[in-house]
Amino acid sequence: MSTTAHALPVPTVRQDAALIGLVGLAHGISHFSQLVLAPLFPWLKDAFGVSYTELGFVLTVFFVVSCIVQALSGFVVDRYSPRPVLFAGLGLLGVALLGYAAAPSYWMLLFCAVLAGMGNGVFHPVDYTLFNRKVATTRLGHAYSVHGITGSLGWALAPALVVPLAMAFSWRVALASAGGLALAVLAVLWFNREVLSLPSATAAPKPAAASSAKSTGSAAGGLDFLRIPAVWMCFAFFLFYAMALSVVQTFAPEAARQLHAVPVTLVAVCLTIYMVASAGGMVLGGFLASDPTRCERIVAVGIGLAALVALSLALAPVPASLVPVLFGFMGFANGIAGPSRDLLVKRSTPENATGRVYGVVYAGLDIGQAISPLVFGRLMDHGQYTSVLVGLALVQAVLIASAFNVRRVRRTAAGLQPA
C-alpha cells in the first residue's frame, strides 16, 4: 500500500491560527465556568441561607461530575469526532450558568452544577484531539501554549466579570451575563464550524497508525490503551500537578501572609500576578517545546524553579513587599513547563486513541483538585503554614520525578534502555 494514500496537506499558519484561536476561546470558557461561583459565595450564602461548606459542596459536585465525564467523553470523541462534543459541552455550560442565575433553591444550584460538570468534562479530550490531528507538528508547542494561556485568562476573567456585576446589580444578573458569554462563544464556534471539522482521512482509523501505536502499546481495542503504562504515569503526573495548582490557588497566598506579615491588599493580588505571569511563561514555553525530545527537561527546570520559590517562601525571611514578586516568578516558571507538560501526553498517546487517552489522563486534574484541599486544608486549620509551602515544594518535586518516569516507561515500552 502506498504510504501517501492517507497523506494530508500540511496546514498553513493561517489555518492553524484559526483553529488554535477557536479552541483556545472555548477552553477559556471552561476555566471561566470553574471559578464563576466561588467569588459570589457571600451573595449566595445570604440568598439561600446556606453555609460555606454547603456552597463548597456545589463545587465538589461540579468537579466529580467533570472527572467522570472527562474520562468517558474521550471515547465519544474518538468514535464520532470532537466538534459535536465541543458544541454540546459549551451548550451545557451556557444552560447551567443561566440555571444558576434563575435558581430558586440550593438544590437547583446542585442540579446546575451537575450540568456544568458535564459540560466542563469534554474540553481536554476535544481540544487535544483537534490539536494533535490538525495542527502542524512544528506548531504544536504554540498550540499548547495558547491553550494554557486562554485557560489562565478564563480563570482571571470570572471574578473580574461577576463581582462588579453583582455589586452593581445582583448576583443573578452576574450569572446570567456569564451564561450569555458562554452561549455567545458557542455561536462564534458554530459560525466557524468548518475550522473545527476533522478531515475524512483522520476521522477513520489509519493503517499507518499501527507502527506508531507499537511504540507505546496497542490501542486497537476500545480499552486497550489502558494497558499502556505511560498513560497511567501521565495520569499520576496530572494528579500531582492539580494538587500543586490547588494549593497555589487556595492556600499559598494566605500561608505566605501569615508567615511574612503581608498586608491583605497584597495577598489579594498574589494569585492574579501568578496567573498573569504563568500566561507569560507559557508564551516562552511554546517556543521551547518546539523540540519534543526535550520536554521532560523543560518540565524539570520550570517546576524545579517553582519548587525553589515555594521553599523560599516557607523557610526564608522574605520581605512582605517581595512576596507577590515571588508568586509571579513561581507562576512564570510553571508557565514555561506548561506546553512541554502537554507534550508528555502527546508522545505517550497511540494514534486513534487521542480522545480516550486525554480524557483519562486529564481526569487526574479533577481528582487532584478534590484531594488537595483535604490534605492542605487540614494543615491550614492547624496553623502549619510553613508545612503548606514545604508541602507545595514536595509535590512539585514529585512532578519532576513523574515527568522522567513517563519517559522511562515510554522508552521501556518501545524496547529502548530507560534513561
Tell me what the mean pLDDT of segment 309-314 comes to: 94
Position 417 confidence tier, pLDDT thresholds 50, 70, 90: very low
Phi, psi torsion values for 66, nearest 5 degrees: -60, -40
The more confidently predicted of residues 301 and 338 is 301
Confidence (pLDDT) at 359: 74
Lowest-confidence pick of 7-16, 79-88, 311-320: 7-16
The C-alpha atoms of residue 263 and residue 321 are separated, in whole angstroms, by 9
Q: Which residues contact 313 (CB under 8 A, 6 or more apart)?
A: 252, 255, 256, 259, 260, 323, 326, 389
Dihedral angle computed from the Cα positions of residues 65, 67, 68 and 71, in that order, rounded to the nearest 10 degrees: 150
* Residue 410 pLDDT exceeds 90: no
Most confident of 201-215, 244-258, 260-274, 341-355: 244-258
Contacting residues for 139 by C-beta, under 8 A, at least 6 apart: 13, 16, 20
Instruction: Please tell me the predicted confidence (pLDDT) of residue 202.
Output: 45
Residue 148 has pLDDT above 60, yes or no: yes
User: What are the residue ranges of helices labelled H in 218-319?
Assistant: 229-250, 252-260, 264-288, 295-315
> Is pLDDT above 80 for 315?
yes
pLDDT score of 412: 58
282-296: pLDDT as tens digits? 888 878 877 777 778
- Output the nine-digit C-alpha cell for 408: 522511562
First-residue to last-residue Cα distance in the chain: 36
Does residue 209 have a pLDDT over 50?
no
Q: Assess whether pLDDT exceeds 60 at residue 217.
A: no
State the average pLDDT over residues 301-321. 93
The pTM of this model reads 0.71
* CATH code for the domain defined by 14-203: 1.20.1250.20
Higher-pLDDT residue of 208, 403: 403
pLDDT at 201 > cutoff 80: no
Nearest residue to 43 (alpha-carbon basis) of 183, 184, 236, 172? 172
Distance CA 142, CA 147 (A): 8
Q: How far is CA 273 from CA 263, 312, 323, 365, 378, in A?
A: 15, 18, 11, 22, 26
In this structure, are residues 326 and 334 in contact, taking their beta carbons and an 8 Å threshold?
no
The answer to whether the beta carbons of residues 412 and 348 sit under 8 Å apart is no
- Average model confidence (pLDDT) across the chain: 82
> Domain 209-413: which topology?
Growth Hormone; Chain: A; (1.20.1250)
Taking the C-alpha atoms of residue 50 and residue 58, their distance in angstroms, rounded to an integer, is: 11
Q: Is 60 helix (H, G, I), strand (E, B) or coil?
A: helix
Find which of 106-110, 237-241, 256-260 is predicted with most confidence, using mean pLDDT: 106-110
Instruction: Report the alpha-carbon distance of residue 133 to residue 354 in Å, rounded.
Output: 9
pLDDT band at 205 (very low <50, low <70, confident <90, very high): very low
pLDDT of 3 > 50? The answer is no
**pLDDT at 23 > cutoff 50:** yes
317, amino acid identity: P
Q: Which residue intervals of the chain bear CATH 1.20.1250.20?
A: 14-203, 209-413
Task: Tally the C-alpha atoms within 13 A of residue 166's C-alpha that lie toward its C-beta.
Answer: 21
Average the pLDDT over each of 63-67, 84-88, 97-101, 114-118 and give the range with the smallest value.
63-67
pLDDT at 374: 74
- The radius of gyration of the chain's CA atoms, rounded to the nearest angstrom, is 21
The dihedral of CA 220, 221, 226, 229: what is its sign?
A: negative
Asked if 175 and 163 touch (Cβ cutoff 8 Å), the reply is no
Quote the pLDDT of residue 213: 40
Overall average pLDDT of the 340-354 stretch: 68
